[in-house]
Structure 1
Amino acid sequence: MNHHADHDDFAFEPVEGLPELPPQGEEILWQGRPDWWTLTKESMNLKWVALYFVVLALWRFGTMVDQVNFATAFAASMPLLILGGIVLAMFMLVGFVQARATVYTITNRRVAMRIGAALTVTLNLPFSQIGRADLALRRDGTGTIALDLTDDDTRLSYLVCWPHVRPWVLRRTQPALRCIPDAERIAHMLGEAAEARVNTPQIARRTAAKPSAVAAE
């Protein structure tokens, strides 16, 4: 498979999000990033993390309110809420940095994904190697487009690609354009470009055989 990974964090990008200039005939149709807030909420499970610390604080308050006065019990539960706030702030910072470091690119030939904040990786996924694209759309218009690859020999690391993957699909990692705005329009554009590319006849060139010389008798 034409799968390319570039691990140089400081490599010069002639075009943002691409490790090299597109070859002749290739056109960039769209480039974008995840919505950082949606990405953070989904990939970091912010609601469950917040609920966890709230439940801990309530449990602490409930176990102490029968033994001490209300103010003392409330003061004893506050450190858990403060700790929860710090954890949530750290998660939001990670989500923001991840989104800003990401560039998704759709051309008339492939999907390219420059992902990773600490370890930068660029995935080049030709349309011919994408079997299906599944759209998960949200009410606010953001959505995730998961790419099911046809090459069984290609194994992408879930941890290396996270959070730019289809959640909880571990056996066969599906790279994904995660939490992008206007996702329905982008998915439609991707489908049209992929269909046009796959249906374009490919002309293979080969060198014509040289005529053999036959000795005259």
Structure 2
Amino acid sequence: MTEYDDEPVRGLPGELPEGETLLWQGSPEWRLLARSAFFTRIVGLYFAVLVALAIYNGSTSGVIATIIAGAVGIGLLMLYAWAVARTTVYTLTSRRVVLRVGVALNMCINLPLAKIGGANLRPLGPVEGDLALQLIGPHKLGYLVLWPHARPWKLGNPQPMLRALPDAAVVGERLARAVAAIAPVDRAAEAPSKSAETMPAGLQGAIA
């Protein structure tokens, strides 16, 4: 039995309220997460340089020790990336985005669509990428609480991030439509030439 066995709906703390529908669910792709969030390629390059220096200096023991240390370090990072991906569920409904995160201690972070003012897509491949959510108004989400599901370097105003999505472009489009669907009626009634303005500017950039 795991800590998620009693979830009434996978990735959610309870049943969906009446009128709320599930639009999408997904999890990070762990190999992509390892590269993009835990920088395994950069770490590998660092150890490769150390190995080259050890070879240049003629230190056989140094070469062996560095290779072992690099393999262990990268292995641990990849293992953690796998654990994060395995325990993470991102959910998009008609009313909110929910992040069920946490390897040792799980928690659910509810983000109402009305509080999402935009999103930034960081491509990591043809259709893969990270989707950072820009929140409207003050919030109490801390960077360390969100990490690694947080946009890098946004320490003062943390932005939740859906990490290493294998279908990031599709998720961005669905998020844009969901946010537009709950926009005020007066915005929906604007002229067709301004219809793009019913979508938050950040979301327009995310799916461009």
TM-score over 0.5 for the pair: yes
CA distance in 1, matches of 2:185, 2:16: 19
The question of 1:12 aligning with 2:6 is answered yes
Report sequence identity in percent.
Answer: 39
1:157 aligns with 2:151: no
Task: After superposing the two structures, state which structure 1 stretch, 10-19 or 76-85, moved more.
Answer: 10-19
Which residue does 2:47 correspond to in 1? 53
Preserved contact between residue 161 and residue 175 of structure 1 (Cα < 8 Å): yes
The Cα shift of 1:195 comes to 0.7
Pick from 12, 19, 24: which aligns with 2:18?
Answer: 24
C-alpha separation between the residues in 1 aligned to 2:140 and 2:72? 36
1:61-210 map, 5 Å: 61-63=55-57, 65=58, 73-152=59-138, 154-199=139-184
- Across the two proteins, how many residue pairs are aligned to each other? 184
Residue aligned with 2:43, SS: helix
Alignment partner, residue 28 of structure 2 = 34
Backbone CA RMSD of aligned residues: 1.6
- What is the TM-score of this pair, normalised by structure 1? 0.80
1:12 and 1:19 in contact (8 A); partners too: no
For the 8 Å contact 1:127–1:198, the answer to whether it is kept is no
Larger CA Rg, structure 1 vs 2: 1
> Which runs of 5 or more structure 1 residues have no equivalent in the other structure?
1-8, 66-72, 202-217
Q: Runs ≥4 in structure 1, deviation > 3 angstroms?
A: 73-76
Which secondary structure state, in structure 1, belongs to the residue aligned with residue 73 of structure 2? helix
SS at match of 1:198: coil
> 1:76–1:135: structure 2 CA closer, same or farther, 3 Å change rule?
closer
